[in-house]
Amino acid sequence: MKSTKKVKEILSWYESDNPGTKANLARILSAGRLGGTGKLIILPVDQGFEHGPARSFAPNPAAYDPHYHFQIAVDAGLSAYASVLGMIEAGADSFAGQIPLILKVNSSNSLSRAKEAPDQAVTATVHDALRLGCSAIGFTMYPGSDQMFEQMEELRELTAEAKSVGLAVVVWSYPRGGDLSKNGELSIDVGAYAAHMAALTGAHIIKVKLATDFIEQGEAKKVYDKYPIDLSTQAARVKHVTQACFAGRRIVVFSGGAAKSEDSVYDDARAIRDGGGNGSIIGRNTFQRSREDALAMLDKLVRIYKGQE
Amino acid sequence: MKSTKKVKEILSWYESDNPGTKANLARILSAGRLGGTGKLIILPVDQGFEHGPARSFAPNPAAYDPHYHFQIAVDAGLSAYASVLGMIEAGADSFAGQIPLILKVNSSNSLSRAKEAPDQAVTATVHDALRLGCSAIGFTMYPGSDQMFEQMEELRELTAEAKSVGLAVVVWSYPRGGDLSKNGELSIDVGAYAAHMAALTGAHIIKVKLATDFIEQGEAKKVYDKYPIDLSTQAARVKHVTQACFAGRRIVVFSGGAAKSEDSVYDDARAIRDGGGNGSIIGRNTFQRSREDALAMLDKLVRIYKGQE
Amino acid sequence: MKSTKKVKEILSWYESDNPGTKANLARILSAGRLGGTGKLIILPVDQGFEHGPARSFAPNPAAYDPHYHFQIAVDAGLSAYASVLGMIEAGADSFAGQIPLILKVNSSNSLSRAKEAPDQAVTATVHDALRLGCSAIGFTMYPGSDQMFEQMEELRELTAEAKSVGLAVVVWSYPRGGDLSKNGELSIDVGAYAAHMAALTGAHIIKVKLATDFIEQGEAKKVYDKYPIDLSTQAARVKHVTQACFAGRRIVVFSGGAAKSEDSVYDDARAIRDGGGNGSIIGRNTFQRSREDALAMLDKLVRIYKGQE
Amino acid sequence: MKSTKKVKEILSWYESDNPGTKANLARILSAGRLGGTGKLIILPVDQGFEHGPARSFAPNPAAYDPHYHFQIAVDAGLSAYASVLGMIEAGADSFAGQIPLILKVNSSNSLSRAKEAPDQAVTATVHDALRLGCSAIGFTMYPGSDQMFEQMEELRELTAEAKSVGLAVVVWSYPRGGDLSKNGELSIDVGAYAAHMAALTGAHIIKVKLATDFIEQGEAKKVYDKYPIDLSTQAARVKHVTQACFAGRRIVVFSGGAAKSEDSVYDDARAIRDGGGNGSIIGRNTFQRSREDALAMLDKLVRIYKGQE
Amino acid sequence: MKSTKKVKEILSWYESDNPGTKANLARILSAGRLGGTGKLIILPVDQGFEHGPARSFAPNPAAYDPHYHFQIAVDAGLSAYASVLGMIEAGADSFAGQIPLILKVNSSNSLSRAKEAPDQAVTATVHDALRLGCSAIGFTMYPGSDQMFEQMEELRELTAEAKSVGLAVVVWSYPRGGDLSKNGELSIDVGAYAAHMAALTGAHIIKVKLATDFIEQGEAKKVYDKYPIDLSTQAARVKHVTQACFAGRRIVVFSGGAAKSEDSVYDDARAIRDGGGNGSIIGRNTFQRSREDALAMLDKLVRIYKGQE
């Protein structure tokens, strides 16, 4: 598949990576209906780990079957499918080569109770990603957590190994724990900081949550007050976050959070698009709807990112 | 030995595994009197570690001898024999090739006193399993425990190594510790969650306890109340648990717990069978009876799983 | 040296071990005046680590010299000499091939103060045992201690390495720490449990202390009350402990504890012999006597185990 | 490029290093407008990690782009550019060979909250430095912190690996944590001690902060009172710190701290020069000014170090 | 260089070591003016790490230069020079082959504040010792500290590696931490115990402090009271300590502690000599005097050990 100009431009930002990693980034950027546009929609299914099976799949029991998610990601023409070891193993052969895969290599769950030191268990290896034909590994870190340094050191090892074997690295950067207030977890200063740290640790694709206009840190507030940084709209905040990711030299995608109304999903996507973000990573809003509704919603999201809605 | 259609179907679920691992799964699925049916009865003898020798074997002193358990598993036509390093070493040569072996690679004991962070010591290696001719390793994790992440990371390493050398992985997933209530350890929501996490970590065979209809987690209760999930009978709960294991794409076996009346053992087996579970793992109820009684009971269990009782 | 029938029988219990390990077990079983009988007397000198030099050797200053212990073990016709790295290094060349050596690879000391989590430092390697010509490694674990799981994991690694290079493994299993009461450390239920766990972790030779008839654990007491287990004499308790070691399929030796009267040393040995134990491991009672007295006492012990006294 | 006498003299201090490491030191000493003089100006950009993106770059938004820093370091004729993994990866190919690079391999951030045990996460590897064409690794340690020993052990491993592959090692030694008072962090006794420990751990280039004339430690105060050590001026204190670095046999550079007035930046540089220090490492004072102002300031600093101002 | 009878006798004590290690011991025993006598004077310079640069070197500023210490050790005809990584690196090439070197591989500092768990950071590797041409590694352990087991395990790994590559091992054994009283740190029972444990862990050369006649441990006191052990003079106590080191089969050297009067330095040396110790390790008393005074003092010490004073 020939790369578009846009894809070539994005690949040029990753100037230190080997051709193997660039090829895998190109695969993700060229897959599906948004292939070649520089925009991405990724389907992540790690909710079973995070919240348990019933809370994840009871609204749409077909989703208990791992093949269901591969199939919908393929049928909707998405850019990549991200999930944990067992889920990927259960479909990687049947769907080999049909859609780029991201192996989530660490996971938390809602039985764990650490409040100030939230963490995740590393549950898969770089070698797992290779043997399963994945294009990237995915890793969650919790900036603010008392386990953050340990997480960063796990990430360092996994990243070094992944890059050496030609895989890409996707980092979920979710502020949580330590002294962070509840509002601070979604604040724009901490969110931009979390995105920046993901870039600094060497991530190729950065996944963060959409931020509010709350500012958590006193020292940061002084700066936001002093310099003209527009935080008034979601699109403006997306723009600020992408700026924090090497002035746009890194791919940044945003997550939607809990299942919600279709309209707010579309509004989020328009804000991401208008702010210069690279796309959406959208899980529960996909698989907790019926297949028909999910396909319709994903179709509309594709068209939004194409500028058609 | 030629594989039956049922065995071939089950093997097809493990589509990402190498032929070595599939061959070992096939050995377990083809062994004994239930061979080829897709049903399993496994004899586990790790009670000596868990409760000490007298509490385990005084009711039937012949069981102090490791050969006793190999012999009864062979004579009863069971699917596999699971035990810890010393026990397997003591009979693996005498019974080489007579029955598939599962090497339990971690163990707890009743002298340990951690209440909120229950754990097990890793007491054997993947290499031990290979040199002793085992078909699988077995690992216990305690969802809910403050040691859960560490356990999952041990499991990740052991699983990756086992799969690379063609072994299967059996995970005992027993909720315990942390904030879990006593009732919560056997609750259906946490039990299904525990089974699901075993599947997500890449287990081939999942072992859980039969669950009650109690629901532990508030967030889960909302979901169970909102969606029509039948939890009224043991068979219904077994069905829900197998659904949580990739919609039945993973082998799930259930344990009976402490020695109890024969009738309740049979009732459990019928519920497992009717709910679509793959079988029983039955330890104390076997070796704490006389050899004659145990063989008679196992014979009846075989017939139940064959649909003959 | 040709193996006796008794030695061949004992070796047959270790059916999973490689010829290297069996040869080293045969060396220990064939050495000295008890060679070939299936009985053992081992001289252990790790008291310097445990209690310091003066408390160990001031009663018999010749014993400050490491060669002293090698020589007396050889001259008394014992089965093996067990000591720590520095002590073995100081004589392994002078006495090469004269007596089987057991390298104690972990050690505690009386300056350490952990009460609920007693532990030992691992102070030597399997490679040390090989380069020094030893037949076995020795390891102490403390069932009950809050460090027990960590100790078992150290033991797992050392055992796997030792067995792979043809060495035998001797485990000292001494209940201590955690919630254990002082009486519980020497109780028969916990002592049999400790011996059983050593067998389960794959030990070839198990060393425990002689037990009292006290029963520590409530759950165990119910079983001892319900089933006919004779605990009334020391010989009966030895018999129960050997039963807990795979119905006698593992070598079990007993330690005598602090220096005491000759008569009680002999009474202990007769009880071990009559209960079916494999022998004594006897340190302070040897080296804290004069060489002449020690040789006389060891001579009498040999004759007791030969059934001549 | 031929080495000057001064460079050859400095290289002679590193008499135990291999030619690979000496070549990399020579590259740093020979680069830019101060090349060959034995003086250095290094641009460090790790403020994004330490304080977040807006606090670092909002004053001069062009600095969000990683290429900006490479370009200014090249254009100003500096000696080296030091930054963290993501920043170096984003420009190492575009600027390959244009300026020596120092890969900062550990990083802290202002979301972390340990007060008595400040630490940094190790976020890059020695192999990263090699694949990115860097001349050195950079590492921060916090003398006084309860994490100091762990940091020193991380440094030992990284240093040993770096030296074996011909890289140089730059150590940022910043007293912090433990029982240190706020004044003590910048005190001359602790500062000289921190510099000395960096030298003792094998650093090639030592980076410390300019010290005040406060003395933190009682035992040290006695010595400073008893012996004639001039601490009255900044130049005198610089001289004392360089003395503490093997009587001047190690390269020592000083940091300026937060952005401040140009005049105080120049005063600092003159003190460093007059005290015999090797140069400045100057981050925020560079990139938080406009490119024009920064270039003008760096030009003046170069002339100060050349003795022209 | 031909070995004297005395050197050959001492080497015979290390009967399990390979020729590489024996050659390095022979180098130390044959170097300098005491070469061949079995006596040693070692110059240790790790005070910069322990107390900081000014407290160490301000009394004699020439000592800030690492070459100073190499030169004085050579000029005084000492047996070996011991120091930490940076100091050895700074002179190992200039003085290659002129004096045996001991690389101190762990270090503490006076900014660290752990009182009950004193520890040291491991700051150099065995490979460092090899590449720098050292004859031995040096390691400090703190018997009594809550970190003692961890230290012993570090020592085990370093010792095993050092011996395998033909290096000797010098252990500084300094009681400290845990429940030890201040008087107990220098007590004779704990001091002899500390020396004994160094021997047990496999040290070739043991370094302890001169002990008082105080007895710390109650159980030990009973033994010292019961058996005739002369502790009345420093020479008698030195004799008891050497006895605790395998009845004199290990080299034991004694440290002098803080700088003090010349006469007490000489008295100490005579007591060491008369008690059968192998020599002195003397740091601050050397480098905190002027070069002339230090050389005169060392000359007198040499003559004392030669029995000429």
Residues of A in contact with B224 (CB under 8 A): 54, 58
Q: What share of chain C is helix, strand, coil (3-state, %, to 5)?
A: 45, 15, 40
Distance from CA of B90 to the nearest CA of C (A): 6
Query: Average pLDDT of B64-75?
Result: 98
What gap in Å lies between CA E7 and CA B221, rounded to an integer?
81
Q: Which of E271, E106, E240 is nearest to E172 (CA)?
A: E106
Does D166 lie at the interface with E, CB-CB under 8 angstroms? no
pLDDT band for position C115 (cuts 50, 70, 90)? confident
Closest alpha carbon within chain E to D240: E54
Overall average pLDDT of the C120-147 stretch: 98
Q: Do chain D and chain C touch with ≥3 beta carbon pairs under 8 Å?
A: no
Judged by a CB distance cut-off of 8 A, whether residue B242 touches chain A is no
**The predicted structure's pLDDT at residue D257:** 62
Q: What is the DSSP string of C88-147?
A: HHTTTTTTTTTS-EEEE-EE--TT---SSS---EE---HHHHHHTT-SEEEEEE-TTSTT
- Around A293, how many Cα atoms within 13 Å sit in the side-chain half-sphere? 12
Taking each helix axis from N to C terminus, what angle separates C66-75 and C291-305, rounded to the nearest 10 degrees? 40
Looking at the predicted structure, is the pLDDT value of residue D113 above 90?
Answer: no
Q: Measure the CA–CA gap between E298 and E305, rounded to whole angstroms.
A: 11
User: D122 pairs with which residues across the strands?
Assistant: D106
The pLDDT-based confidence of D259 (bands split at 50, 70, 90) is: low
**Confidence at E258, pLDDT banded by 50, 70, 90:** low
Are the beta carbons of E277 and E241 closer than 8 angstroms? yes
Condensed to tens digits (0 to 9), the pLDDT of residues D76-112 reads 999 999 999 999 999 999 999 999 999 999 999 999 8
User: From CA C21, how far away is CA C28, in angstroms rounded?
Assistant: 11
C-alpha distance from D63 to closest chain A C-alpha (Å): 9
Query: Which residue do the tokens 């931009």 mark?
Result: A192
Radius of gyration, CA atoms only, chain A = 18
Write the CA distances from A191 to A91, A196, B45, E285, integer angstroms: 34, 9, 52, 58
* Strand ranges, E, within E73-220: 80-83, 101-104, 106-107, 121-122, 136-141, 168-173, 205-209
D16 vs E: CB within 8 A: yes
For testing the chain A interface, which of D89, D101, D125, D157 should be mutated: the one with the most A CBs within 10 Å?
A: D89
* B–C interface: beta-carbon pairs under 8 A: 128
The three state secondary structure string of E188-206 is HHHHHHHHHHHHHCCCCEE
Could you give the CA distance from residue E5 to residue E23 in angstroms, rounded to a whole number? Answer: 15
Which residue in A has a C-alpha nearest to residue D58's C-alpha? A227
Q: What is the mean pLDDT of chain D?
A: 96
**Predicted pLDDT of residue C78:** 98
* CB-count burial class (<10 Å; 0-12, 13-18, 19+) for A20: middle
**pLDDT one-digit tens code per residue, B25-44:** 999 999 999 999 999 999 99
**Between residues E184 and C262, the one the model is more confident about:** E184
Average pLDDT value for chain B: 96
Contacts B112 to C, Cβ<8 Å: 148-149, 178
- Beta strands at C121-122 and C136-141: parallel, antiparallel or unpaired: unpaired
Pairing of strands C121-122, C106-107: antiparallel
D55 and A220: CB-CB below 8 Å?
A: yes
pLDDT recorded at residue A156: 98
**If you average pLDDT over residues E57-86, what whole number do you get?**
98
Q: For residue B2, is pLDDT > 90?
A: no
Is D174 tagged catalytic?
yes
The alpha-carbon gap from C127 to the nearest alpha carbon of chain B, in Å, equals 19
Domains of chain E, by residue range, sit at: 5-305
**Cβ contact (<8 Å) for C55 and E179?**
no
Nearest to B119 among C149, C189, C220 (CB): C149
Pick among D45, D94, D111 to test the A interface (most A CBs inside 10 A)? D111
Confidence of residue B172 (pLDDT cuts 50, 70, 90): very high
- C218-251 pLDDT, tens digit each: 999 999 999 989 999 999 999 999 999 999 999 9
Active site residues of A: 174, 207
Using CB atoms within 10 A of its CB, is residue D106 exposed (0-12), middle (13-18) or buried (19+)?
buried
Q: What is the mean pLDDT of chain E?
A: 96
Active-site amino acid positions of C: 174, 207
H-run or E-run covering B42 = strand B40-45
Residue E259 is predicted with a pLDDT of 66
Strands (E), A159-306: 168-173, 205-209, 251-255, 279-281
Amino acid at site D184:
G
Residue E8: how many CB atoms within 10 A of its CB?
A: 12
Question: Which pLDDT belongs to residue A257?
Answer: 62
Which one of E92, E107, E123 has the shortest CB-CB distance to D16?
A: E92
Three-state secondary structure call for residue E146: coil
- B215 inside 8 A of chain A by CB: no
pLDDT single digits (tens) E9-43: 999 999 999 999 999 999 999 999 999 999 999 99
Residue from D104, D207, D209, D239 carrying the catalytic annotation: D207
| pLDDT surpassing 80 at residue A87 | yes
Please give the span between the terminal C-alpha atoms of chain C, in angstroms, as a whole number: 27
How far apart are alpha carbons B255 and B205 in whole angstroms? 13
Stretch C43-51: mean pLDDT, rounded?
A: 95
Contact between D259 and D285 under an 8 Å Cβ cutoff? The reply is: yes
* pLDDT surpasses 90 at E256: no
| The one-letter amino acid at B114 | A
Is there contact between D and E if contact means ≥3 C-beta pairs under 8 Å?
Answer: yes
Where does the pLDDT of residue A259 fall: very low under 50, low under 70, confident under 90, or very high at 90 and above? low
Cα dihedral D252→D258→D261→D264 (10° resolution):
-30
pLDDT score for C67: 98
Chain A CB within 8 Å of residue D59 CB: yes
Question: Nearest-CA neighbor of A35 among A104, A95, A89, A99?
Answer: A99
Number of A:D CB contacts under 8 A?
127
C62 touches chain B (CB under 8 A): no
CA distance linking residue E173 with residue E186, whole number of Å: 11
Which CATH number is correct for A5-305, 3.40.50.12370, 3.40.50.2300, 1.10.1040.10, 3.20.20.70? 3.20.20.70
Provide the pLDDT confidence category of residue D115 given band limits of 50, 70 and 90: confident
CA distance A109 to A118: 10
User: D111, A180: Cβ pair inside 8 Å?
Assistant: yes
The count of C-alpha atoms lying within 13 angstroms of the C-alpha of B283, restricted to the half-sphere facing its C-beta, is: 20
What is the token pair recorded at B98?
């007579």
* D233 to B33, D239, D240: CA distances (angstroms): 91, 10, 11
Helix pair angle (D291-305, D262-274), 10° resolution: 20
- Are E200 and C85 inside 8 Å of each other by CB? yes
B156–A122 CB contact, under 8 Å: yes
Q: Do D149 and E112 touch (CB under 8 A)?
A: yes
**Rounded average pLDDT over C107-112:** 94
- Tell me the per-residue pLDDT of B227-260, one tens digit each, with 9 for 90 and over: 989 999 999 999 999 999 999 999 999 997 666 7
Pick among A187, A246, A250, A251 to test the D interface (most D CBs inside 10 A): A246
**ipTM higher than the 0.90 cut:** yes
What residues of chain D lie within 8 A of the CB of A148, using their CB?
109, 111-112, 121
Using a CB–CB cutoff of 8 Å, tell me whether C156 touches chain E: no
pTM of the model: 0.96
Query: pLDDT-derived band of residue E243, with 50, 70 and 90 as boundaries?
Result: very high
d(CA A80, CA A68): 14
Q: Which residues of A touch B117 (CB under 8 A)?
A: none
pLDDT score of D258 more than 80: no
Residue D49 contacts A where some CB pair is shorter than 8 Å: yes
How much is the pLDDT for B257?
62
